[in-house]
Chain A
Amino acid sequence: MSKYITLLKLSWQNGLVYRTSVIMWRFRQFLKTLMSLTVWTVIFASNANAFNYTQDSMITYIFLVSFLQSMIIASALNGLAHRVYSGEISNHLIKPINIYAYFAVEEIADKAKNVGFLLVEVLILFLIFKPTIILPSMFIFLVFLIWSLLGMILNFIISLLFGSFGFWSPDTWGPRFLFFMIINFTAGSLFPLDILPSVIQKVLYLTPFPYLSFVQIQLFLGKFNNQEVFTHSIVLLFWLGLLGSFAS
């Protein structure tokens, strides 16, 4: 166990070696959230309701997207395909550590780093926009935390599967770019998926991507009844089981 704690410390330090890059990356996330908040604030300035959202629920949505983007979708495994193709992964395979645990430790360190920055960003945005955030009941909040944790594991598995492209092809950037585009849209990062026509929503729900942040936010906003909470929990576990078995 101690070797994994040491790895965690090393990964944390590695993540902060290029501090300027990290700060610039976080600044970009901050800009994106700032733009979303501004656009939706402007929309609600002349409309009390839009797309079946009130201003408070939409602002809460954007804050949650920003949070879950950093906690679920941001991943240290983005460069995995290149590490596989370049042979760098061989260095890890010959060490007396479990390769999956190694990746998981890298992921935890990355997310811990994000949390630190995220708290500062959210505080600044709070002071600028002074929003009213909708809070759920304690039970729903607990389910939200569990679903978020499961979302992280799901993204970890999907990233592992995308990383395996490196075993077959040197062109790793193309699939990665496409993956980012798909995730950005299907996880509800650009806008809530429930403002889309119902046909598109139904198609998206056939994929695991809405479970990478959209359903968690809908749960938080109280848009699911008990039956839907149960159904989505089962579907989330199903995707974890199915993709997990592929990954292993």
Chain B
Amino acid sequence: MINRIKTYFKIWQHFGKNEWQVTFVNRASNLLFMIGKIIRLSMSLLFLMLIRENVEVFAGYTSDEMVVFFLTYQIIDILSQTLYRGVYIFSNLVRSGEFDFLLTKPINPLFRALTGKPDINDFLFLFPNILISFYLLSSLELNITLISSLWYFALVLNALLIATALHIFVLVVGVLSTEVDGVIWIYRDLNYMGRFPVSIYMEPLRFALFFLVPIGMMTTIPTEVLLGIAPTYSISIAFLVGIGSLILSLKTWNWALKKYSSTGS
């Protein structure tokens, strides 16, 4: 098992090196991407700061707590984009027939489809994000304990499990219909709603964001636990949703592979 993990890590490093080279071939384009991402982050932070200055309470949360919700969303989003950018081009692999070649290779096709194209831009963007997050956290009036920080860390890992599961579900849609683009962007938009506590949304959207596309379990619950607020759903439910969604997604992937009929020509 350990040897297998080492092999896959080595393969992933190769994916990363290849993408690193591709990124630096298209330097100008990637620079524009980076500027775009900086503008987007700056505007979101600016908006949060304006809310912080002008609004004292937001749905029962203080404005400082709102900033933590946003930072949690931001970190989880960038981490999952860095790891799973390959999902965005998966429909091309299916349509062109390239996915057939991946199926014949001696590595797991799911691993290749999920992690085959790490996003170097997001990887580079992660470091300033972490710095900004720590700077902002140090400037906020929060009551964070060591225990709540440890739970937060565990719940962020759980959030990455959920993100992995959701990306696998998108791949399943890609295998069955090749219609990945719309689905992944809907996921991004739903995830974007997690910048704010999911409990602010009305039912049945709130229920959907906690259990169908569990964005709330990814961002709202960890942040509430970190801030020492009673979580909307218990921590055990969050872990249950995390592990359950991953198992379900893997089973669905295996089922979808059996339905895959190849390009056929």
Contacts and interface: CB of A to CB of B under 8 A. Distances in A.
Interface of A: 20-21, 24-25, 27-28, 31-32, 34-35, 38-39, 42-43, 45-47, 50-51, 128, 169, 171, 173-175, 177-178, 180-182, 184-185, 190-191, 195-196
B202 A190 contact: no
Interface in B66-97: none
Contact of B186 (A28, A185, A196): A28
A181 B37 CA distance: 8
Interface of B: 26, 28-33, 35-37, 39-40, 43-44, 46-47, 50-51, 54-59, 179, 181-183, 185-186, 189-190, 192-193, 196, 200-202, 205
19 contacts: A24-B185, A24-B186, A25-B182, A28-B185, A35-B193, A38-B201, A38-B202, A42-B59, A43-B58, A46-B55, A174-B36, A177-B32, A177-B36, A178-B32, A180-B36, A181-B36, A191-B47, A196-B46, A196-B50
B198 to A, nearest CB: 10
Given A35-B193, A181-B40, A191-B50, 20 more contacts: A21-B179, A25-B185, A28-B185, A28-B189, A31-B190, A38-B196, A38-B200, A39-B200, A46-B55, A46-B56, A51-B50, A128-B202, A169-B28, A171-B29, A174-B26, A178-B33, A178-B35, A178-B39, A195-B50, A195-B54
Which of A24, A27, A34, A173 is packed against the most chain B CB atoms within 10 Å? A24
A173 B196 contact: no
Identify the 8 closest CB pairs spanning chains A and B, nearest first.
Answer: A24-B182, A174-B29, A171-B29, A174-B32, A181-B36, A178-B36, A178-B32, A181-B39
A51 B53 CA distance: 10
B89 to A, nearest CB: 12
Contacts of A128: 202
Contacts of A191: 47, 50
B181 A21 contact: yes
Nearest to B197: A42
Nearest to B37: A181
B29 A20 contact: no
A50 B53 CA distance: 10
A17 to B, nearest CB: 13
A39 B183 CA distance: 24
A20 B57 CA distance: 40
Given A38-B200, A174-B26, A185 B55 contact: no
B26 A50 contact: no
Which of A27, A39, A173 is packed against the most chain B CB atoms within 10 Å? A39
Which of A21, A42, A195 is packed against the most chain B CB atoms within 10 Å? A42
Contacts of B186: 24, 27-28, 31
Nearest to B25: A171
A6 to B, nearest CB: 29
Given A28-B186, A177-B36, A182-B39, A171 B26 contact: yes
Contacts of B58: 42-43, 46
B29 A32 contact: no
A222 B54 CA distance: 23
A184 B39 CA distance: 10
Nearest to A195: B50
Contacts of A51: 50, 54
A6 B54 CA distance: 54
A218 to B, nearest CB: 18
A169 B32 CA distance: 13
Contacts of B51: 43
